[in-house]
Chains A and B, each alone.
Chain A
Amino acid sequence: METPNRQSAIGVRQSVALPDAHISAVAVEKSYRKGDHKIPVLRGVDLAVRQGEFISIVGQSGSGKSTLLHLIGLLDGPDVGEIRLESDRIDDLPARSRDELRNRVFGFIFQFYHLLPELSVLENVLTPLMIRYSMFDFWKRRRQLRESARELLDKVGLGHRLTHKPSELSGGEMQRAAIARALIAKPEILLADEPTGNLDSGTGGEIMDLLRTLNQQDGLTIIMVTHDELIAQQAHRSVRLAEGRMAARGEAA
């Protein structure tokens, strides 16, 4: 006899086979060790996201939604299961290739912005490119790269704050800078971990508008984690995680 959970898992696995799945998690399980205890966080989660889709993952804190995002973004490896980019498994790649994928395919936005405090806004935005290119290549292209960073900061409305340090910015501005940093590497998939969690509703709305614009105009695939139902509804689709398992959830409006 099969449990409903497993049936749903098989169902999702079938959807993974769809040719338009951009990124997918297949039956991933993850547990953390706390002393001698093994605390399961994800207990077999399947998720498939199509190209250009904007989905949100909701759930209470401790439901494993951030962990799922980290697994998808290759910041961590699943104990069981696979992460697939299009149809290729990517979680078992060597460290060097995973670093490269993080740099080129994924863009990260965090709740606490996570800008580097020693660098100016412009330098923070350029960091992914500095990581990508060798010193010599970066030096050769520095004008062009700096110009594109400036354009991007204009686009997110920070064109007047290029040389400021993160500590001199407001929360909304810091999040815009973080978005610009995530976008500079021209990623295919944007992973946002509670992007509005630390902002008031007005600023949060602006950030959401920005994300929607990026999704619509640039066709960026966005996976957003949030605990806020209202924010979650702004995505095309919303999935719910509870106790490490996917709960049924319909299409958002």
Chain B
Amino acid sequence: MNNTSEKSDYLLLFRGADWHKDLSPDEIQKTMTTWMAWFNRLVAEGRCKGGQSLAPDSKVVSGKMKNVVDGPYAEAKESVAGYFILTVSSIEEAAEIARECPTLGYGTTVEVRPLLARCAASEVAARQMATADA
């Protein structure tokens, strides 16, 4: 057993742009104050490396013709509103942090995703180089 367990990066995606719909300005501000205290604590504990909110005006590119349409990608309830990058010991620890999200009770969904240490594209590309060398 190791006391200093290996840490990995996880992405928390906050989904839902309309959690504030039925709240008063006072409740919204209180929730956001709680949110900032939560974020700042995670940063101070060294468990969160950064985070950002995303503006809703956006574009989506898809299809053989590379069509461009107005975003965001999903409906308001599901669209990504922001993210944190966590450095923690396990996906369970990341999920425990996600369960502390102050807007969960108001309709936000948090998605926890492991971040790969090395990007998948470069792995596949490197394997081709190795094949070519062989």
Chain A complexes with chain B: no
Chain B interface residues (CB < 8 Å from chain A): none
